[in-house]
Structure 1
Amino acid sequence: MVQAWYMDDSADDPRLPHRAQPDRPVGLEQLRTLGVLYWKLDADKYENDPELEKIRRERNYSWMDVITICKDKLPNYEEKIKMFFEEHLHLDEEIRYILEGSGYFDVRDKEDRWIRISMEKGDMITLPAGIYHRFTLDEKIQGNSHSS
């Protein structure tokens, strides 16, 4: 099950959990009030998963792209990681589905406080249009990449 929490204000490595002290967990219902929806799917069969197809049909998702975020496979890896962690928003709903590995999506609540959503293989979220967000990998070694 996905975990989410309010973040601390530390400027340390973004790949750390950054849990506020005391811990302030955020449940799926609170995420839903922000327009963030969550599903747990079988990432090993994403290419022909009937549950994913049903979600795509119901929500009118017509295309997808797959991005691999690891040093060995993503050109300009360091620049891309910095870019993904820059706070931004989209004019359309954004769908993110973790097929392998793990990372954090941070979203702002209605009071501009950061909520960190810890995602791993099989987790899928949708972010509504206009919500400020960012992404970073976590501390776990991703794919073929090596921490330095």
Structure 2
Amino acid sequence: MALEAWYMDNSDEDQRKPHKLDPNRPVSLEELKHLGVFYWKLNADIYETDPELQCIRKERGYSFMDIITIEKNTLTNYEEKLKMFFEEHLHLDDEIRYILDGQAYFDVRDKEDRWIRIAMKKGDLITLPAGIYHRFTLDELNYTKAMRLFVGEPVWKAYNRPADDYEIRKKYMASLQEA
């Protein structure tokens, strides 16, 4: 099954709920691509030896990798980390995540500054471009195991909104005008 994405409602209800509009307004992979968001569906059961993943990593220069499990019993400062991940922010580098187990949501802003929710499931690999405002949360299962990929050494710094004066944000916004 393909990736599912949709425009979000403005409800303050639990961030882990789907927050679909009524009626639902789906967002296609093509629309995500116009925002610089790229997606692959892989076989997470063979991630350690998967030739397709190895090919993507080589082509895109993803030299560093680690794995994070996000659930109440394993992640130190779980509640604080979830709040931090859900704070709207950007990075100076692309964010690359591969869901190995469980589920989660990435929310990204479109050209009109509206939230799009991307439902990530086992086998989904996504890249968010440097400079895009986004946030992350678990869904109601409260569990995901994800591979984090980086070009070179990992950079964990998030720049919370507003960060419009950063050069990477200006570059990202200019790329949207070209798309």
TM-score (ref. length: structure 2): 0.78
Q: State the one-letter code of the partner of 2:20.
A: R
Whole-Å Cα distance in 1 between the matches of residues 32 and 104 of structure 2? 17
Whole-Å Cα distance in 1 between the matches of residues 55 and 27 of structure 2? 27
Q: State the one-letter code of the partner of 1:34.
A: L
Q: After TM superposition, give the deviation of residue 125 of structure 1 in Å.
A: 0.3
SS of 1:47's equivalent in the other structure is coil
Gap change, CA 1:65 and 1:109, over 3 Å in 2: same
Paired residue total: 143
CA contact under 8 A between 2:103 and 2:141: conserved in structure 1?
yes
Q: How does 1:57-72 map to 2 (within 5 A)?
A: 57-72=58-73
Partner of residue 118, structure 1: 119
Partner of residue 164, structure 2: none
SS of 1:103's equivalent in the other structure is strand
Q: How does 1:100-139 map to 2 (within 5 A)?
A: 100-139=101-140
Flag structure 2 segments of 5+ consecutive residues without an equivalent.
Answer: 145-179
Q: After TM superposition, give the deviation of residue 21 of structure 1 in Å.
A: 1.8
Whole-Å Cα distance in 1 between the matches of residues 58 and 90 of structure 2? 24
Partner of residue 47, structure 1: 48
Q: After TM superposition, give the deviation of residue 109 of structure 1 in Å.
A: 0.4
Partner of residue 8, structure 2: 7
Q: State the one-letter code of the partner of 2:16.
A: R
Q: After TM superposition, give the deviation of residue 66 of structure 1 in Å.
A: 0.9
Whole-Å Cα distance in 1 between the matches of residues 6 and 142 of structure 2? 22
SS of 1:38's equivalent in the other structure is strand
Whole-Å Cα distance in 2 between the matches of residues 141 and 128 of structure 1? 26
Question: What percentage of aligned pairs have identical amino acids?
Answer: 71
Partner of residue 146, structure 1: none
CA contact under 8 A between 2:7 and 2:116: conserved in structure 1?
yes
Root-mean-square deviation (Å): 1.0
Gap change, CA 1:83 and 1:141, over 3 Å in 2: closer
Flag structure 1 segments of 5+ consecutive residues without an equivalent.
Answer: 144-148
Show structure 1 runs of 4+ deviating over 6 A.
Answer: none
Partner of residue 77, structure 1: 78
Q: State the one-letter code of the partner of 1:119.
A: M
TM-score (ref. length: structure 1): 0.94
Partner of residue 16, structure 1: 17
Whole-Å Cα distance in 2 between the matches of residues 129 and 23 of structure 1? 28
Superposed CA offset, 1:75-119 (max 9, x none) = 111111111101110011110110110011000001100000001
